[in-house]
A = this chain, B = another copy of it.
Amino acid sequence: MTDRPDPDLNDALMERYGDAVDAPDMPADVRQSLRRMASRGSCRRFQPTPVPDDLLQTLCAVALAAPTKSDLQQRDIVALKSEDRRARLADLVAGQDWVAAAPMVLVFCGNNRRQRLLHDWHDVPFANDHMDAVINAAADAAIAMAAFVTAAEAAGLGCCPISAVRNDAAAVSDLLGLPEHVFPFAGLAVGYPAHPPEIAMRLPLHVTCHVDTYREDGLKESVAAYDVRRARAQPYNRQRFVATFGTSDTYGWSEDKVRQYSQPERAEFGAFLRARGFQLD
């Protein structure tokens, strides 16, 4: 990570959004923390160096200090320390061979089972068999994962979330020994980066940040401009489903996302959750 330029916070945000963000004066250490978060990027290529156990444990502890809905703590982390298990997980996340080479893979799980056990032990009926219970557990897992990423990146590690653990969630659950009402939310590859991350451009802030009321005036034009800006600076190195859609001369973010979601992805996840005991009403 030594050859990474160290852009100022405003520069990192300009690169990310294409909009000027004028950060206020802040103490140097705060500015540094925010700059690190602003200039982060996912990492899929790692040095072979293992992630030390004490660092991993510290990062898990820091991550689980993040907010959790009503203090219910409905998330767990399964660290795949066995190379064999990581390889087996990699087989279950189609098209992401790089996962097998990650020095560490964590799986963040939603856990609604512990809460139900508490009800058994206290002999009090559980009255929350519905959709929101799933959202709460998934969100707890997502929040813990986000905090882990921030902490790990501060410590010089690179990370990449792997939502594809939900592609074949039943097989992943079997691999991890997950019981009913526990589900894999996302994997997270972790290691020392082989090269500095790219700052993935994001939609401009006027598209995603609203004041008082949701607005989408000029959305189509804003997305078109974002497509152009991004295609110029960060062109895709392959186009999806060329056999169906042909090759596009103006291939950008929106076309890539549309081609991706022209195919069903994880249409069975609801059925998996039901099979694991959840009501989705």
Contacts and interface: CB of A to CB of B under 8 A. Distances in A.
Contacts of A32: 29
Interface string A47-87: 00000101101111110111101111101111111100100
Each complex incorporates copies of this chain amounting to: 2
A77 B259 CA distance: 26
Contact of A155 (B30, B186, B273): B30
Contacts of A280: 131, 270, 280
Contacts of A273: 131
A265 interface: yes
A209 B111 CA distance: 12
A78 B146 contact: no
A269 interface: yes
Contacts of A190: none
Contacts of A247: none
A264 B273 CA distance: 20
B13 A61 contact: yes
Contacts of A36: 33
A2 interface: no
A-side interface size class: 35 or more
Contact of A67 (B42, B212, B264): B42
Contacts of A23: 54-55, 58
B78 A202 contact: no
Contact of A24 (B58, B163, B177, B263): B58
A139 B186 contact: yes
B26 A155 contact: yes
Interface in A233-281: 245, 253-255, 257-267, 269-271, 273, 280-281
10 contacts: A24-B54, A37-B151, A64-B208, A66-B149, A70-B257, A114-B223, A115-B257, A176-B212, A178-B214, A270-B280
